[in-house]
Amino acid sequence: RIVHVNGRYLPEDQATVSIFDRGFLMADGVYEVVSVLDGRLLDFEGHMKRLARSLDELGMSHPMTDEEWLEAHRRLIAENDITDGLVYLQVTRGNPGDRDFAYPPKDTPPTVVMFTQSKPGLAENPQADTGLRVCTLPDLRWARRDIKTVQLLYPSMAKMEAKARGCDDAWMVEDGHVTEGTSNNAYIVKDGTIVTRALSDDILHGITRAAVLRLAAEAQLAVEERNFTVEEAKAADEAFVTSASAFVMPVVAIDEAAVGTGAPGPVARRLREIYLDEMR
């Protein structure tokens, strides 16, 4: 693979960052994941807006303009011959030359790394036909989940624990209410109404979420943005998750309880179809 590091395009084994980089020592950095279908970037502008917000919330400088980001994405897609897959980008607070809790001076250049992952047939993921089984686990992340930081240890732990329990993924729970999945936003459908947690600092403001809620409204589907409990989710007709890389993915079981019929539901299937049609 050819990857991007601080404005340079290099074979992956030649791209390096400092051991003092704050992304490495402090998880002091943010990231984005943009999907590629048929060589085209999905919802690129939305991801750039969220990146800018994440950087601003952490007082980090913006290493590139949106045009430069677009150019870098396109170049990596071309150099690596990506038809379907994703582009990962990460910006950290850079290399202060030593370890210190205090931020380095403002003029310390941020570190930018980008790479592609090829996923042929990404939109034809067979998991969409079988659905995911999720386990519920306490949400032990920090309280600013709206910022897309690279601090992903707890989501990784939750995913491993879910797998150890025979599930595909975890839904995280706080005060009895589902917050979101380890790397996706969570939804249930009851009597034709789509229910998903409202935006706040408690969850990531999913770019796919925004698109899916817009498309649901256009398709005259009822949407309620509010908290829902694990019990409510288990008694729902359907459940699903959304993310840039999974699009709309049905959830068919929660803690071993089948959701609805135990098969992907009609609303989730329809939204997946509408979303992929709109994005292509």
Q: Minimum CB separation from ligand PDD for residue 243, in Å?
A: 4
How many residues appear in the chain? 280
CB nearer to ligand PDD: give 108 or 118. Answer: 118
- 23 makes contact with ligand PDD (CB under 6 A): no
CB nearer to ligand PDD: give 34 or 96. Answer: 34
In the list 2, 17, 33, 199, the residue contacting ligand PDD (rule: CB under 6 A) is 33
From the candidates 148, 163, 190, 234, which is the catalytic residue? 148
Q: Minimum CB separation from ligand PDD for residue 80, in Å?
A: 18
Q: Minimum CB separation from ligand PDD for residue 96, in Å?
A: 26
Task: Count residues binding ligand PDD (CB under 6 A).
Answer: 14
Q: Kindly identify the residues of this chain, within the stretch 181-210, that bind ligand PDD according to CB under 6 A.
A: 183-185, 204, 206-209
The answer to whether residues 141 and 149 touch, using CB atoms and an 8 Å cutoff, is no
CB nearer to ligand PDD: give 267 or 275. Answer: 275
The closest of 246, 170, 230 to 195, measured between CA atoms, is 230
In the list 180, 213, 254, 274, the residue contacting ligand PDD (rule: CB under 6 A) is 180
In the list 30, 162, 195, 244, the residue contacting ligand PDD (rule: CB under 6 A) is 244
Separation CA 85–CA 200 (nearest Å): 29
**Which phi-psi region, left, alpha or beta, contains residue 142 (left: φ > 0; alpha: ψ -120 to 50)?**
beta
Q: Minimum CB separation from ligand PDD for residue 4, in Å?
A: 18
Q: Minimum CB separation from ligand PDD for residue 35, in Å?
A: 8
CB nearer to ligand PDD: give 15 or 241. Answer: 241
3-class DSSP state for residue 89? strand
The answer to whether residues 62 and 101 touch, using CB atoms and an 8 Å cutoff, is no
CB nearer to ligand PDD: give 21 or 247. Answer: 247
Question: What is the β-pairing status of strands 222-225 and 193-196?
Answer: parallel
Separation CA 179–CA 230 (nearest Å): 10
Please choose, out of 63-71, 120-128, 179-187, 193-201, the segment that lies near ligand PDD by the rule CB under 6 A.
Answer: 179-187
CB nearer to ligand PDD: give 10 or 140. Answer: 140
**Which phi-psi region, left, alpha or beta, contains residue 111 (left: φ > 0; alpha: ψ -120 to 50)?**
beta
Active site residue 148: yes
Detail the DSSP E strand segments found in the chain: 2-5, 8-11, 29-37, 40-41, 85-92, 111-118, 132-138, 169-174, 177-181, 185-190, 193-196, 222-225, 238-243, 247-254, 257-258
Q: Minimum CB separation from ligand PDD for residue 27, in Å?
A: 14
Three state DSSP letters for 60-79: CCCCCCHHHHHHHHHHHHHH
Numbers of helices and strands, H then E, in the chain: 8, 15
The closest of 55, 70, 123 to 275, measured between CA atoms, is 123
Residue ranges that bind ligand PDD, judged by CB under 6 A: 33, 180, 183-185, 204, 206-209, 242-245
Residues forming the active site: 148
